[in-house]
Amino acid sequence: MLVTDYISKGNLDEILHSSDISIPLDIRLGIAIGCAEALSYMHSMHLWSDSLVYHGDIKPANILLDGNFTAKVSDFGLSRLLLGGITLYTSKVIGTIDYMDPVYFHKGRLTPRSDVYSFGMVILEIIARKRVRQGNINLIGTFSEACANRSRLQELLDAAIANENSLKILKEMVKLAVECLALDSRKRPQMNDVAKRLRMLKKGMNGHENALPQSILATHHSWHRNNKSFSFFKKNASNSNIISELSKVRIFKEELNEITQNYSYLLGGGMSTKFYKGTLRTTLVVVRKFLDEEFKEAFINGGIILSQLSNCPQEHYHTFGLLLGIRNYGFCI
């Protein structure tokens, strides 16, 4: 049994195609960033384990939205572990055809860039508010042609968000989506690059250099460097209350040093990020420390609390919240 947050907004497919709810461009960008960061996180798991994970069925119906439109990737029924490599060949091709990587469909070759292809389709649906395929209309073909000829592009976009102020950002999103949809999978960007470019677009949309990118953990709780207010857990809080408070915690460098005992318990990581075990009051947490300056700008003093791992066996500390949306907190198996 898996217990998750209550998803009051349903899924992205319902919001885009079965409702008339207004979705401003900044919210759409936030949804795209949340999904991209989740996939990037999955694809980077090989940095601290022997396995690389991909989702295998990315589509709007599998992107859940809470009351703040925070994206949580769901339905890992088709997810695969790529043991000892980054490519898997299979004769059992399964997934949603409209969003499926054609390389996977025709050759049975599955890589993390198969998720990138599917995510490119999602970007197009987000900005067009049209299904990938409607009758004889194929969004890939129409957008690719519009990009090549630099014509009719604005006509393909959702009129609710296509205006003079947003057109530049929308064009960049279209360009990124088309790159993700390259038939040659080697020419597709990696998921971490996709997330980075979306964050930069969000940063530019905010209109000033110091605007923080909208991440999964802080979609509607932006952390500001000069904000001195703190929100800590009550001493006797239950696990459920602790989980609900995680996204609100504001921690600064001095507190992180204490929580991690000066980063003395390294769990894993790569060139740009490290994961450390720590303790916040009586709660086990995982702290992600960014070594890359660009990522540091997005998180106060180079670190945030990622995972609430109370009651997890020690050997499972490296397993982070894939099933729950992603990096709000961890889970154990």
Query: How many angstroms separate the CA atoms of 206 and 195, rounded?
Result: 17
Inter-residue contact 88 to 56 (CB < 8 Å): no
Of 134, 140, 104, 103, which Cα lies nearest the Cα of 122? 140
Choosing from 5, 26, 50, 57, which is the catalytic residue? Answer: 57
Coil, helix or strand at residue 265? coil
Residues 99-107: contacts with CB under 8 Å, at least 24 apart: 99/57, 99/58, 99/59, 99/132, 101/185, 102/183, 103/183, 103/185
Inter-residue contact 171 to 9 (CB < 8 Å): no
Element (H, E) at 72: strand 71-73
> CA dihedral in degrees (54, 322, 67, 246; nearest 10)?
-150
Query: How many angstroms separate the CA atoms of 154 and 235, rounded?
Result: 54
Q: How many CA atoms lie within 13 A of 230 on its CB side?
A: 6
Say which residues have a Cβ less than 8 Å from residue 39's Cβ, sequence separation at least 6: 55, 58, 73, 115, 116, 119, 191, 195
20 part of the active site: no
Residue written as token pair 């996939």: 39
Residues assigned a catalytic role: 57
